[in-house]
A and B are shown apart, each in its own frame.
Chain A
Amino acid sequence: MSKKLVIFLMSGRETPELAAAAAQGGADLIELGFPFSDPLADGPVIRRAAERALSEGMRTKACLECLAEIRGRVQVPLVPFVYSALLEAYGHERFVADAASAGASAILVPDLPVDSHPELRRIQLVAPTSTDERIRLAAETTDGWLYLVTLTGTTGARAELSSALAGLAERARRLAPPELPLYAGFGISTPEQARAAAEIADGVIVGSRAIEVAEDGPEQLRRYVSSLRTAIDAAR
C-alpha cells in the first residue's frame, strides 16, 4: 500500500490554485488551515501565515468558501485544521455540517484533547507524551486516521526527524485497532525526512515548509510536493 502525503495550506485567496498545484504534485490529502489569532500549537511560519490570512479577512465563513472552491478544483480529501476557539464561536454542529457541505471529509482540532467534547467527531492527535490509555482512546474514536505528533513542540521545520516518532508509532500500532492508518506530522520538511517518516508511518504531513514554498507560487509548490512524493514512494 502506498504511503500517503498530506500537505497543509493556509486559507487565502490564492489557496485554491495552490491546492490544485499540490494535488498535481502528488498530495493525497490537503489540510486547510483556518487562521486563529492565538494558535498555541503553531510555530512562527504558520503563525505568520495565519496573521496574513486574518489581515486578508479570512474569517471562518471565508475559509469555508475557500474550502468549497478547492473542492471544485481537486479530487483529494480536504480536512479543515481549526482551533477550538473558532468552533466555539461558530457552533460545533453547525461547523461540522457546513464544512461537510463545503466538501470536507473530516476535521482536525489541534487544541481539543481526546477526552474533551467526545461528541465532536474528528481526527485525533497523539503526542510522544500521551499515555497508552489516551492513545487507545484516540485511536478508537478518531475519524479515519490517527495523527502522530512526532515531537514535543510546535509546528515548524527541524534539522532532524524527531527520534520520538518511532516509539510513538510502535505504541500506536500496538494500541490502535488493526489497519488504522497512522500519519506523522510536525517537524517534517525535507524529502529525506519525509521518506524516513514514511518508513515508520502510513502517511506524512508537511505544513510549515509547504507554506514557505507556496509563497513562491503554485509551480514551486508543485515541484516541492513532487519531490516529497518521490521520496515517500521510495520508502520501504
Chain B
Amino acid sequence: MATTPAPTEEAAGTGSAANRSAVRSLLRLWPYVRPVRARLSIAAVIAVVASCTGLVIPLALKWIVDGPVADRDTGGVWLGALYLLLLGIAEAVLFGLRRWLVARPLAGVEAAMRADLYRHLQRLPVAFHDRWPSGQLLSRGTTDLMLLRMFLAFPLTFLLVNSVTILVGFLIMLAQDWTLGLVLLAPAVPVVIVCWLFEKRYSQVARQAQDQVGDLTTLVEESVLGIRIIKGFGRHRSQALAFRALSRELRGTELVKARLLAGIFAVITTLPELAVGAALVLGSVQVADGSLSAGTLVAFLSTALALRWPVESIGFLLAMSQEAATATERYFEVMDAAPEPETAPVPRPGGGPGAGAGDGGGLRFEGVRFRYPDADPGGVPVLDGVDLHVRHGETMALVGGTGSGKTTLTALVPRLHEVTEGRITLDGVDITDMPRQTLRALVAVAFEEPTLFSASVGENVLMGAADTAGEADLRRALDIAQADFVHALPHGTDTQVGEQGLSLSGGQRQRLALARAVVGNPRFLVLDDPLSALDVHTEALVEAALRRVLAGTTALVVAHRPSTVLLADRVALLSGGRVTAVGTHHELLRTSAEYAWLMSGRTETTERENR
C-alpha cells in the first residue's frame, strides 16, 4: 500500500539534473523547518563540537604516551586520564543534548506536515481523489513524512558535522605529520567518488524495487478484495502464479541492490584499511628513525579510526538525502494541487442572481455540460446540455440507461464536481454563488455505494443533521429508513460500525445512509438509487415512509425501476447527455419508447438487442 507508483508516473530521477533538483525539493521544507530553525542550528553546532571532541581524545592519548608515559611520570598519568574522562563525558552529554534539543521539534514538524496534508486533502476536488488511490495518499502521510523527519534529524545535520569533522581531523593529522596525513587522505577522494556513483545507481534500483513492491501490493490487495471471484472461478492457481512471478522479480531486484551494497561495503572497508596499513608501515619507519614519536603514531592511527565513520557515512547520508528529496517531491505533488475554488471557475455571461424569480424556485439545471477533468477534451462530454427544473417541493425521478450519467449529474448538485458549462440554481441562487458549506447544508445526499465511518451507528446517522439534532431526530430517521435492525445490534445505536467495527450487509448500510440523508430535514434531497440493495418487503416500507418525507422536500432521485419511480411526482429521462423527456411516469410510458424500454425492458427490446 505504501509504495504503489503514483498515477502521474513520476520519472525516475536520473542524471545530475535530479541531483540539483534534489536540493531544490528539499528547500521547499523551509516553511516547516523555520519555526524550529533555532533549535536545529544549535543542535548542529553542538554536534560539530561533540564530534570534534571525539577528535581531541587521540590528542590527549598522544599527550599521555609522549609525556608522562615516556617520562615514567605516574602522577601525570592521572591528569591525562582525567582529561580523557572529561572529554568523554563532554562528548556523551553533547550528543545527548543534541538529540534532546531536536526530539520534540522534529516530531512537531512531522505532525504539522501531516496535519496540513490531511487538511489540504479534505479540501481537494473529488476529481483529484478519483485519480489518486487512497493508499498513495496514505503513504505520503506516513512513510514519506517519517523519511523527512529522519532526514532532518540525521543527514541534514551530519552532512555538515561529518564534513567539518573530516576537515578538522585531516588538519590535525596534517599538522602533526603531513606525509602520514597525505597517505591517509589518499583514499578519501576515491571513497567519496565511489559512494556518490554508487548512490546514483542504487537510488535507481531502489526506486525499481519500490515500484515492484507496489505492484505486488496491488496484486495482494486485489486478491483479498476479489476473493469471492477468485474462489468462485477457481482462479487461485493463476493468482498464485502471478504472485510468484512478481515476488521473484522483486527478489531479483533486491539481489541487484545487495550486490551494489556488497561492492560499496567492500570498497569502504578495503581502501581506508589499506591506507591505515601504509601509514602504519611508514610511521613505524619514522618512529625507528626517531623522526616521529610513538605517541604521535598512536594518536594518528586513533584519529584515522575516528574518521572512518564520517567518511563511510557520506555515501548513505547522500542516499538518505536523495530519498528525502523524493519524499518531499511526493508530498508537495499533493500539496500543490489546488483545493476546490470557492467561486465559479469560469465567469458566466448573463444570468444574474435571482433571475426569473417567478419560477426560479426549486432546483434548476440550465444548459449544464460536464466532462471529467481527466477525460479527453475532444471527446463527447458525459452531460451535454442538461436543462431540467425540479419545482419547489417536487420529487423528480431521474431515469436513464446504464452509464448515461445519472450519478454524475447528482454529484454536480452538492458541487462534488464542478459543471464544465452552464449553471445549477437552488431557489434561484446559483450554487457557485454560495459558500460550499451553505450549499452542502441545504442539500443532503445518499450515495449509490453507502459508506459508513468508524463511529457508532448514531454518530453515522447524525452526521447529516445540525449539531442540535438529538435522540428524537435519530429515531425518526431510523424509522423512515426502516433501520429497526439497529436496535437488535449489540449496543443499539451506540454499536461501532465501519472498518473498525461491526460489518453490516449492503442493505443495512444503505438504510443507514438513507437515514443520514433524511435526518436533518434538508430542503433539497439527492438520492442515488437509494433502495437497490433492499428486499421487496423492506423497499415497500421504506417507500411509504419516504413519501411522507418527500412531500415537503425538493428532491432528485435516481431510479432504476418502476417502484422507485413511483416515489416521484415527475420523471426526467436522461439520454445522450441531455434530458430528452420530462413528465409523469404514465405520460412517459406512452410517449417515450426509450423510457418504456427502460422501465419494462420489453418494448422494442428485441430489435435493439439483436442489432
Question: Do chains A and B interact in one complex?
Answer: no
